Structure 1
Amino acid sequence: MSKVVTFGEIMLRLSPEGYYRFLQANKFDVNYGGSEANVAISLANYGIDSVFITKIPSNEIGQAAINTLRQYNVDTNSIVRGGERLGIYYMEKGASQRPSKVIYDRAYSSISQAKQTDFNWDGIFNDAEWFHFSGITPALSKELSQICIIACKKAKQHNVTVSCDLNYRSKLWTTTEANKIMTEIMPYVDVCIANEEDIDKVFGIKAENTDVEKGKINYQGYESVAKQIHDKFGCKIVACTLRTSISASDNKFTSILYDGEKIYQPKEYSIHIVDRVGGGDSFAAGLIYGILQKMSLQDSLEFATAASCLKHSIEGDFNIVTVEEVENLSKGNGTGRVQR
């Protein structure tokens, strides 16, 4: 069985009930989530041996996060315990023309205070086939940016495929900082994953005739973007999710993939959103799964896009779906009819 290692931060997620605003809330729903943890859980649901690496405080909140990962069969044996706190993020769900809102409370979290000596990458990558992280992780501290570089170098020494979801977060670092560090990391990346904005924000490579804020997406422009990333850094695969935002409640969603020779594009979905957090992570996990299962690149992209589409219908960060459910959608069963 394939072994996938993911590395990043898992946080406590606090959300007002339903569509209440922060200012209306007198209680919060409690969940856990984080980009790389979301990927690990998706892959574990698909039957992949998934290992999540992070640093978590030695208290009950940290243990609750670990217990959540274990609930979904993610290997937590290499998680480092220590530090003062688990990061928190507050999530207010948008609706119609009101966008969702996120407030972070993650300063001085355990993982952001991690040191290079916390992680034994030679041991972690023993028997591993794939390593995944996102641009969020190196943004958490200067030390973590170096840890990510070290991890990528070690992965290459162990012949492990490396994937990175750019996941630019303006609340964590500037575009200048992101460009500097990610430019150093990208030569180690085999599979680069991004959304409509990430490549522009991090590398200044913009799709022509596209205005994300106005919901105008020029798909052909992203073919050029993917090719430029491939040519600049030598990634074997560049994949971009493409979202046309009609409102906070309704989007059109598709993607593209470039392998150095050919552009692939799956079907486009019209989605009504229950919870969009984790949609990109679900895409990443689906793509990793398809490639590990030796699917064609077209089928891998169809699987990844369908997986992300389904995630938008699920509360919380995690994509709690099966391979069969994703395949049913990717092969055309998208009516939502009751299954008896």
Structure 2
Amino acid sequence: MLRFDPGEERVRTARSFTVSEGGGEYNVGRALRRCFGQRAALVTAIGDNEVGRLLEDFLLQGGMNLDHVVWKAADDVGRQHRNPLNFTERGFGVRNPRGVYDRANSATAALVPDDVDWNHLFGDLGVRWFHTGGIFAGLSDSTFEVARTAMRAAHRHGTVVSYDINYRPSLWSAAGGAESAQRMTSELLNTVDVLFGVDGADFGEEVDQLVATGPSPSVIAATRRVVRSASIHDWSGVAWSRSGGTTEGTRYPNLAILDRVGGGDGFASGLIYGLLDARSLVDALELGIAHGALVMTTPGDTSTVDLEDVQRLASGGDASVIR
């Protein structure tokens, strides 16, 4: 979607906005491409009008392959196949960040399973990793079916599947709330290899429940965040694997935050890169925590750092000037 950032102003009083692209699942893929140097492709739908072409221009800068994007016919008044908009305030001090979405009747929400040849993607093209999550799956009944179809196809072809629960109350307010979101997640878990987005504060209990109730993912990971103010967080992460149990990551107390949006996606992409690169879960977790922290030092949803930055911080580096 297109993000409209009022900078230090409020949405309600802003006279100009900085526009960028972003989205829960997209942010992960873009970071894997731009920060971590992996080949990545995007599967989504875009309404074919001038706003959609603006979104495409941002996506092209992000570097992901767009061959599998589905273009849907759109009119110029927004009756159908709209391109979603996101107005997000960063917050400051005691003023909390706030997001307002304008995404009803979007092209993405109109995707159906047959819009994409999943067997070609995972079988012929040999995709190694597929990432999706609760934001996409929760957009509509059809996107849930798209997610389920894609995850089953990936699982069938031996592709690693990661899923970020990414519960958003605003997305589910008219669709049954948290209970419906949990029911949807439970229906998808049997094809998930790596799960993000469980409650970091109650991580042990969450893992125990997942393991006890049925087939559990091989890896479960979560961020741990204590919000001191909009501008100061305690930041860390934790991960569990069947083979190694629970691993606690480095803690960053009193981390200065410029823009918290995208921090969790940064965590996910860093950890995914570590696992793709055959690193230990301990090392992958540290990359995730460090990358998430760095993502929150710049405006916008997406990563603007590189692998050297991430590895420096993950190895204990500080913010001294580099000359």
TM-score by length of 2: 0.91
1:21 paired residue number: 10
* Matches of 1:267 and 1:115, distance apart in 2: 41
Contact kept in structure 1, 2:199 and 2:206, CA below 8 Å: no
Contact kept in structure 2, 1:226 and 1:240, CA below 8 Å: no
> Counterpart amino acid of 1:92?
E
Match of 1:96 among 87, 93, 96: 93
2:118 paired with 1:121: yes
2:266 paired with 1:267: no
* Matches of 2:238 and 2:212, distance apart in 1: 16
The Cα shift of 1:320 comes to 1.3
> Counterpart amino acid of 1:141?
S
1:314 paired residue number: 298
Report the 3-state secondary structure (helix = DSSP H, G, I; strand = E; otherwise coil) of the residue aligned with 1:49: coil
* Matches of 1:60 and 1:145, distance apart in 2: 28
What percentage of residue pairs aligned between the two structures are identical?
A: 32
2:235 paired residue number: 253
Q: Specify whether residues 21 and 195 from structure 1 end up closer, same or farther in structure 2 by C-alpha distance, changes over 3 A only.
A: farther
The residue correspondences of 1:226-241 to structure 2 (distance < 5 A) are 226-232=207-213, 233-241=215-223
1:111 paired residue number: 108
1:44 paired residue number: 33
Residues 171-206 of structure 1, C-alpha deviations (whole Å, 9 max, x = no match): 112112112211110111000001537xxxxxxxxx
* Matches of 2:190 and 2:138, distance apart in 1: 18
The residue correspondences of 1:271-282 to structure 2 (distance < 5 A) are 271-282=255-266
Contact kept in structure 1, 2:135 and 2:166, CA below 8 Å: yes
Contact kept in structure 2, 1:275 and 1:312, CA below 8 Å: yes
* Matches of 1:142 and 1:339, distance apart in 2: 50
Match of 1:31 among 13, 17, 20: 20
Number of matched residues?
A: 306
2:316 paired with 1:332: yes
1:81 paired residue number: 71
1:242 paired residue number: 224
TM-score by length of 1: 0.87
Q: Specify whether residues 176 and 225 from structure 1 end up closer, same or farther in structure 2 by C-alpha distance, changes over 3 A only.
A: closer
2:170 paired residue number: 171
Residues 254-287 of structure 1, C-alpha deviations (whole Å, 9 max, x = no match): 0111102421011111311111111111111001
Return 5+ residue gaps in structure 1 as ranges: 1-10, 198-216
1:6 paired residue number: none
Return 5+ residue gaps in structure 2 as ranges: 74-80
Residues 101-146 of structure 1, C-alpha deviations (whole Å, 9 max, x = no match): 1111000010011222211111222210100001101110011111
Contact kept in structure 2, 1:96 and 1:247, CA below 8 Å: yes
2:76 paired residue number: none
